[in-house]
Structure 1
Amino acid sequence: MGKTVIVYTCSHADPSCSNERFNWLGDLIEDVKPDYTIDLGDGADMRSLNTFDTRYPQAIVAQSYQKDIEAYNDSQDRLWSRYKLSKKKRPFRIGFAGNHEFRINRAVAHDPRLEGDKYGISFSHLQTDHWFDEYHEYVNSAPALVSYDGVLYGHYVSTGNFGSAMSTKHHGYSLTEKLACSATVGHSHKFHYFRKADARPSPINGLVAGCFKGQEEDWAGQANGDWSKGVVIKREVEKGDYDLQWISMKALERMYG
């Protein structure tokens, strides 16, 4: 019997934006009762550790590592603490590190003096061992790729020897061509789906799962309009095949807001 899975990615919890959307997602998870959930990474924005704002003092002043960590843990608390109160069965929770979480590792590698669980910078502050039953950090400076029920998951799939993230107009199709298996990724904030059914026993599916962002970004310009905000429900997941349902952020807010 196929499983039910809820997949979301690129939530970018940030102190400058409300986390109310995580209440809606938590309500959806309670109602759907999936076998497991998958967070494909970039759940924490970690704006304070970005390397792009060094020329803009006004942007730097507004940033805080502590507030970034608090925003992320608040987002997870809104999703999962309800189960401790209700005593309901919680789905199995799977998480992946994205390039924004990896900013913590990169900052420590750049200056090891910053590292410290109590007074410094540490990946442990994200409490991934508390919020997830299985969590996959970067491997060799690239997102982990792990298979569940015949679907390969990761924050992104890289191309070339330098590990650049795959990004094409037909992204879902490109995933099936490169990997020859079902794959689901995030990272681009866009939605694209391609189903390849041929002589093989089971079809393969390439999916780019949009994003779960709560606000537009000044730095992205017109690209904001290309982003698809919402979550994916996969039903009857078995051997890499599934029935796909897209729930937009607008629909989620209408149902639970």
Structure 2
Amino acid sequence: MASNILLIADTQCKPEQEWPHLAQLGRFIVDKRPDVIVHIGDHWDMPSLSAYDRGTAKAEGKRVYQDIAAGNAAMDVLLHDLHKLQAKQRRNKEKVYKPRKVFCVGNHEQRIIRHVNANPELQGFLDYSHLKLDGWEAYDFLEPVQIEGILFSHYFANPHSGKPIGGTIQNRLNKIKESFVQGHQQAFMYDKVYTLNRVLCGIVAGAFYLHDEEYMGHQGNRQHWRGICMLKDAEDGHFAVDEYRIEDIMEGRW
């Protein structure tokens, strides 16, 4: 049976933020009730462990525990309305809406593992167990998960270089050779390739947050796509797409 799959792009939650867009997305989930929810990763931004900022003024005052606490609090905001609905359904002895929830670890969460590898005295003390992922199926960084014939991963790497496969959707489909969905890149791209036996579909959708990223500069932030999408009637690698900009979610236009 075909599934409707909600794709949540990189949310990149940091300390001292508020997340009204995640609260609204939680209402969207309760209203639309997708069969599967996939968060494609980079929910915990982990700026305290950024190798780019280490040793600079930008790293001053940043703390690992604050980064983890921020992402955990944001996850509570996202799931608040879902948990409220489920509690009400249990009280009323109704059928409980339980979507499959899948989380693909992103490179920002993987900063934790890279930091521990560089500081082995932290082994057994700092790991993914601090992230509030109870109730989610969690897949490690770049470990693809297949749902309805579609591969989901934070991004897909070139096997020879380890770097993300880039370029057009057609180029990525040619390299991956499967229907795929990824985040990581602050853009929205969607297309199909027709082969002799099947249709391959690909999506890049890499941002669902309100803030600007300093490293992207004025032009990069202005041209930045922010939103979510619903993969409709996904089955055997094929799906249609409903795209929702972050403005649509914030204003309840769905």
TM-score (norm. length: structure 2): 0.90
Q: Could you tell me which of 136, 139, 162 is aligned with 1:136?
A: 139
What's the counterpart of residue 35 of structure 2? Answer: 35
Give the whole-Å Cα distance in 1 for the aligned partners of 2:22 and 2:161. Answer: 35
Compute the displacement of 1:116 (Å): 4.8
Give the whole-Å Cα distance in 2 for the aligned partners of 1:245 and 1:35. Answer: 15
Give the whole-Å Cα distance in 2 for the aligned partners of 1:84 and 1:30. Answer: 10
Aligned pair 1:186/2:183, yes or no? yes
Aligned pair 1:199/2:202, yes or no? no
What's the counterpart of residue 253 of structure 1? Answer: 250
SS of 1:95's equivalent? strand
Give the whole-Å Cα distance in 1 for the aligned partners of 2:61 and 2:209. Answer: 19
Give the whole-Å Cα distance in 2 for the aligned partners of 1:219 and 1:242. Answer: 34
Check the 8 A contact 1:167/1:188 in 2, yes or no.
Answer: no
Q: Could you tell me which of 192, 214, 219 is aligned with 1:218?
A: 214
Check the 8 A contact 1:96/1:154 in 2, yes or no.
Answer: yes
Check the 8 A contact 2:26/2:80 in 1, yes or no.
Answer: no
Give the whole-Å Cα distance in 2 for the aligned partners of 1:85 and 1:194. Answer: 37
Give the whole-Å Cα distance in 1 for the aligned partners of 2:83 and 2:18. Answer: 23
My pick for the range that moved more, 18-27 or 80-89, is 80-89
Q: Could you tell me which of 82, 97, 102 is aligned with 1:94?
A: 102
Structure 2: runs of 5+ lacking an equivalent:
90-96
Alignment of 1:95-174 (within 5 A): 95-117=103-125, 121-128=126-133, 130-132=134-136, 134-138=137-141, 143-168=142-167, 170=168, 172-174=169-171
Encode CA deviations 1:217-246: one digit per residue, 9 max, x unaligned: 111113223321000101111101111011
Give the whole-Å Cα distance in 2 for the aligned partners of 1:230 and 1:109. Answer: 34
My pick for the range that moved more, 235-244 or 247-256, is 247-256
CA RMSD of aligned residues (A): 1.7
Equivalent residues, number:
243
Whichever residue aligns with residue 231 of structure 1, its letter is I
Give the whole-Å Cα distance in 2 for the aligned partners of 1:29 and 1:238. Answer: 21
Identity over aligned pairs, percent: 25
Aligned pair 1:233/2:250, yes or no? no
Give the whole-Å Cα distance in 2 for the aligned partners of 1:126 and 1:161. Answer: 31
Check the 8 A contact 1:76/1:131 in 2, yes or no.
Answer: no
SS of 1:15's equivalent? coil
TM-score (norm. length: structure 1): 0.89
What's the counterpart of residue 48 of structure 2? Answer: 48
Check the 8 A contact 2:26/2:82 in 1, yes or no.
Answer: no
Compute the displacement of 1:197 (Å): 2.5
